[in-house]
Chain A
Amino acid sequence: MNSRIFHIATNTFREAVRDRVLYNLIAFALLMSAAAVLVGQISLNIERLVVINLGLTAVSLFGIIIAIFIGIGLVSKEIDKRTLYTVLSRPVRRWEFIAGKFFGLSGTLAVNTFFMAIGVFAALAYVSHHFVSSDLGVLVALYFIVLQFVIITALALFFSSFSTPIFSAIFAFWLFVIGSFAQDLRNFAAMTHGFTRWMATGAAYLIPNFSALNVITQVAHGEPVPHTLIVLNTVYALVYSMAVLSAAVLIFERRNLK
């Protein structure tokens, strides 16, 4: 990473921290503590399942909300407040600015997820008093959740590069919801014929495949995650994010900052 991208990323991270974004961790900690205490009193041998399901879903939701609501303002806020003017009048290229913002928010979300992951494992330890080897799957699920954040951050940045924050939020959230059913859309495409099949397949591959990155149920039931899926998901998330970021850069490079 070149030094200008690093400095912009660091500033983005610092801004998120000072704007009290990490305060969501308090809400998460309270949620996990309450869940652990409640589930601990049930004792129906489903404590692990409930804690993993609830914990990972909460990690995912908290992160998605942060990614969308900070991501959509990453460019538009800098234009509205004119802070971008003094950055781009320096030897900073526009693509470096986009890349710095992307790494800054992705880093913030990774740190946030790290602390939430500690909360999930603490709750797990509280209800079952020991870890089992299948708990490694929780780490894989957390890794996939971070990959989802990376894609959502790229999408939010993409919309932020040409649209208003409200429309950017709507588009990004809509894509997250649709992308969570990407596999269903692919199955539907396989059942159709002719032009409809062509259109449905195109749409299925254009939208982000968040369903492939969601292994929460699988992991909660102690089922292993195939190694190939880890590799494929990693490559998919990186390629998809880079493509979306390239589109964001193409738009932003031509934009007049009125």
Chain B
Amino acid sequence: MYAIEIEGLEKVYNAGFWRQRSKRALRPLSLTVNPGEIFGFLGPNGAGKTTTLKILMGLVFPTAGRAQILGMDLNDPRMKAQIGFLPEQPYFYDHLTARELLRYYGQLSGMDAKQLPHKVDAMLEQVKLGSSANVQLRKFSKGMLQRAGIAQAILHDPKVVFLDEPMSGLDPMGRREVRSLIEELKAKGKTVFFSTHILSDAEALCDRVGIIHQGELRGVGAVADLTAGVHGKVEIVWHGSIVPAAIRSMNADCRAAGESTRIVVPEESQDSVLEALRREQLRLISVVPVRASLEDYFVSQLGTPMKSEAVTSRS
């Protein structure tokens, strides 16, 4: 059984009162996430990440397709007791203190009333809000609100945790804390599905990633598998500060440092560069392949036309 199973999910929003215009937020999306996996859902702003999460949370209804979490339908309360959700830029009841907020969400999740106070206090300590437990949320900073948000998402020990842009708005220390929290969840065997547009976070944390753009899933897989298919680059270093005209005309990233010069070019330009260096009788120091990053893969996917458009244009 998959932790999350999405099959042909589509969402079309209708806007306008008199003249209805439709906006396709999600093209048929199919995706599975295994139990215990950290899955990164990547895409630029407006790609369809939040729409997907809202459908999974039962906040928005799909136009077509179906999805299951832990083998149960999206409106099944038994399933909802086993998931946690952190929305993007969370805003909570600001009249409550952090302790009251967690108690409220614990009660709504059906947690045991006797254990709840202890679990709330332990969770506040875990997310470093212990000293602010009795402060109303209207006095919290953005980073503190994000920590309170994470606390409410994992308080009831859910099996699957959904995090929408959990690192957004956090300082480097905050991001590091959230990263280690996600790693802790994985160590406990939880499934984590998180959306982000910060690729370094996804690269560091995820077992697998899915890339979505304009509502269409462009690629799914382990980071290493995805980047292996990207045409690589090579770093070429030679002695001296002379840059031959043929190399200069390539408009590549070329820098002189000390007694050597370094250039990074696509693999297919490697022979041209070496030939230019030979002609000028410059001494070659090294030729090193540069591993493609998730960013390279991401950019390459965003640049390709939509599969549905390609099909349309062929027909």
Contact = CB atoms under 8 A, between A and B. Distances in A.
Interface of A: 3-4, 7-8, 11, 14-15, 18-19, 81-93, 254, 256-258
Given A88-B57, A88-B58, A257-B59, A7 B81 contact: no
Contacts of A87: 108
B77 A93 contact: yes
A91 B108 contact: yes
Given A89-B80, A90-B81, A91-B109, A15 B104 contact: no
B59 A89 contact: yes
A87 B57 CA distance: 10
A11 B59 CA distance: 21
B152 interface: yes
B58 A89 contact: yes
A82 B87 contact: yes
Interface string B28-64: 0000000000000000000000000010011111000
Interface of B: 13, 54, 57-61, 77-78, 80-81, 83-85, 87, 89-93, 95-96, 104-105, 107-110, 149, 152-153, 162
**Residue of A82, A84, A254, A256 contacting most chain B CB atoms (<10 Å):** A256
Contacts of A84: 59
Ranked 4 nearest A-B pairs via Cβ: A91-B77, A89-B85, A18-B95, A257-B59
A257 B50 CA distance: 12
Given A91-B78, A91-B81, A258 B93 contact: no
11 contacts: A11-B96, A11-B104, A14-B96, A18-B95, A81-B91, A82-B91, A85-B57, A86-B92, A90-B108, A256-B59, A257-B60
Nearest to B60: A256
A21 to B, nearest CB: 11
A256 B14 CA distance: 11
A88 B87 CA distance: 12
A90 B93 contact: no
Contacts of B107: 3-4, 7
B71 to A, nearest CB: 16
Nearest to B138: A18
Nearest to A3: B107
Nearest to B86: A86
B59 A85 contact: yes
Contact of B152 (A4, A86, A254, A258): A86
A201 to B, nearest CB: 32
Nearest to A80: B91
Contacts, number: 77
Nearest to B58: A88
A175 to B, nearest CB: 23
Contacts of A91: 77-78, 80-81, 108-110
Contacts of B78: 91
Contacts of A254: 61
A4 B108 CA distance: 6
A85 B104 contact: no
A40 B149 CA distance: 57
A108 to B, nearest CB: 13
A136 B61 CA distance: 53
Nearest to A16: B95
Nearest to B152: A86
A86 B84 CA distance: 9
A86 B88 CA distance: 11
Contacts of A83: 91-93
A85 B304 CA distance: 34
Contacts of B105: 86, 90
Given A82-B91, A88-B59, A89-B162, 14 more contacts: A3-B107, A4-B108, A11-B93, A15-B93, A82-B89, A83-B91, A83-B93, A86-B87, A86-B153, A88-B57, A91-B110, A257-B59, A258-B13, A258-B60
Given A82-B87, A257-B60, A15 B95 contact: yes
A93 to B, nearest CB: 7
A160 to B, nearest CB: 17
Contacts of B153: 86
Contact of A19 (B58, B95, B108): B95
Contact of A89 (B83, B92, B110): B83
B63 to A, nearest CB: 10
Nearest to B109: A90
A14 B95 contact: yes
Residue among A86, A87, A92, A254 with most chain B CB within 10 A? A86
Contacts of A86: 85, 87, 90, 92, 105, 149, 152-153
Contacts of B89: 82
Contacts of B77: 91, 93
